[in-house]
Amino acid sequence: MSSPRVRFAPSPTGFLHVGGARTALFNWLYARRTGGTMVLRIEDTDRERSTDAHTQVILDGMTWLGLTWDEGPFFQGENAERHGADAEQLLASGAAYRDYTTPEELTAARERVTRTGATFRYRRAEMELPADEQARREEAGRPHAIRFAIPDEEIAWEDAVHGTISWQGRDLDDFIILRSDGSAIYNLAVVSDDIAMEITHVIRGDDHISNTPKQVALYRALGHTPPVFAHVPMILGTDGKKLSKRHGATAVGDYQDLGILPAAMRNFLALLGWSPGNDDEVLPEAEMIARFTLEAIHAKPAVFDTTKLEWMNGQYLSMLAADELLPPVERELLRMGVTAPGRDIRPLIDAVKARSRTIGQVAEQVAVRLDGTRVVRDDKGVALERKMGERFGSSIALAHAALSGVADADWNAPRIEIVLRDVAEQAALKLGDLMQPVRVALTGGTVSEPVPELLAVVGRESSLARLGLHAGH
RNA sequence: GCCGCUAUCGUCUAGAGGCCUAGGACACAGCCCUCUCAAGGCUGGAACACGGGUUCGAAUCCCGUUAGCGGUACCA
């Protein structure tokens, strides 16, 4: 029993869309789960719209998500010869025929039928030119397309996510498999490639369901058994419409820029349209793989909820060690123009990550702690100072004085906490009336990690300097 | 129009005839914890699209309606 072979086959006509990313993820999960092989194939037969830049972006997106492929990337455009040969075989067996109808004739015929309110179906018997005209065009070497003669029978398959799906051949056109310029049309190219690459499981978007009966027919005519199909539903925007640019971020790269962690993105995407069968939400990669089955993929489209993604990201932010967060945070800091030569910023990451939902937020808070000039008084900070009046400055002065007495060697959270609590008690201040002004002096805002930790992480020198700016005002 | 797919809280979902006065999560509201916030804990509001069957019994099976989506190309 050979192991499964799956493929992810994006066309390089745009960025890696979250829908595509999830399809890739499901392919990857299935391959990992079954010990199978994942093939990456770039479907670049649409020369007009395909670009190398897009191909690179797709590869980068997958790499960022941690979706590794075992074979490829292969480029569909390189298989033109085989596509042609398969078309020839179909022609030879009588499963396909040459179509000399010109595009104009086709359009005219289509309009004629549509106008009567009927449905246009391309049928050899109805469309074929009179024998003499056909012969004339053949002799003249006129350009022609090759059409597949759709059999008039039921075409059904057992879809891994939808169950039995059945079509009637009579509802399908005799479709073109080879253009008049000799290049293959999608349906032939995919089938030809999937056969050649010995793909056993085709896991792809729902929008391909209507192509599947044509492809199944092609497999049969070519003498091959169709693979297992698993059609995964679309991802929708919050308005219930197919996710598009109007919904904001739709490319995987956008989420990287937004400060989402690959692990969180993977987890979130996996749960969009698939469920492990119970209430688990945060699933480690290994468990995701161990519990993945095609049958548990839902048949119903899902709405992409950015809020929940950010919650998920927050979960990972809390869970992951500062070590693992260091690279993306450093990248973000660099982008912000913040450098800290020789400084270990991991303690700063640990101090702020629990209160952040994105890497961007982590980096911002780290930057403020690193560099006093980045402290900006926010609305709540301003409001607090206004509310406290003179007590604002006097509290800071008190803290400043007491903290000045703490030696650099003793500058740690537990020690600072003792000093601060002591000050509050001596001055008969509520703890909050001492802590909050200090917090505002150090960060500009009223929200942060516990004040002693904050002071420890900012460091003695910088903390005292920041407090000094406000003491007594 | 025709063909196909889908239908549980606002959203992601559990549910594969009795365990369901439908469970969890996000979001929302309240409370607790607390120097603030986040996290965490507790509490609350919130759903089986509709109509027929089948069955002792239906969110679960069947049919229809409605709605949404996809396709209907010498695009992928």
Helix A451-458 with A413-426: angle, nearest 10 deg? 130
Nucleotide with the nearest C1' to A45 CA = B76
Instruction: Give the CA A378 to C1' B43 distance in Å.
Output: 33
Nucleotide with the nearest C1' to A451 CA = B35
Q: What is the Cα–Cα distance from A69 to A312, expressed in whole angstroms?
A: 25
Tell me how far CA of residue A233 lies from CA of A204, A208, A228, A274, A453, in angstroms: 9, 10, 16, 10, 47
pLDDT at A471: 66
Q: Which residue is nearest to nucleotide B26 (CA to C1')?
A: A308
Nucleotides in chain B with any atom closer than 7 Å to protein CB: 1-8, 10-15, 23-27, 34-39, 68-76
pLDDT tens for A412-468 read: 999 999 999 999 989 888 899 999 999 999 999 999 999 999 999 999 999 999 998
Nucleotide with the nearest C1' to A310 CA = B26
Q: What is the mean pLDDT of residues A135-153?
A: 86
Instruction: Give the CA A388 to C1' B55 distance in Å.
Output: 72
Q: What is the Cα–Cα distance from A155 to A376, expressed in whole angstroms?
A: 67
The interface predicted TM-score of the complex, written ipTM, equals 0.93
Q: Residue A317: enclosing H or E segment and its boundaries? A: helix A306-319
pLDDT at A448: 94
* Tokens matching residue A328: 């993306």
Q: How confident is the model at residue A249 (pLDDT cuts 50, 70, 90)?
A: confident
Q: What is the Cα–Cα distance from A155 to A168, expressed in whole angstroms?
A: 6
Residue recorded with tokens 């050649």: A196
Q: What is the mean pLDDT of residues A237-257?
A: 81
pLDDT tens for A208-222 read: 999 999 999 999 999
The 3-state DSSP class for residue A235 equals strand
Q: What are the backbone angles phi and psi of residue A394, rounded to the nearest 5°?
A: -70, -35
Instruction: Give the CA A447 to C1' B30 distance in Å.
Output: 22
Q: What is the Cα–Cα distance from A451 to A145, expressed in whole angstroms?
A: 75
Contact between A41 and A73 (Cβ < 8 Å): yes
Distance of CA A271 to the CA centre of its chain: 12
Instruction: Give the CA A296 to C1' B54 distance in Å.
Output: 28
Q: Residue A63: enclosing H or E segment and its boundaries? A: helix A52-65
> How many Cβ atoms are within 10 Å of A450's Cβ, its own excluded?
14
Q: Which residue is nearest to nucleotide B35 (CA to C1')?
A: A432
Instruction: Give the CA A121 to C1' B8 distance in Å.
Output: 40
Q: What is the Cα–Cα distance from A233 to A88, expressed in whole angstroms?
A: 35
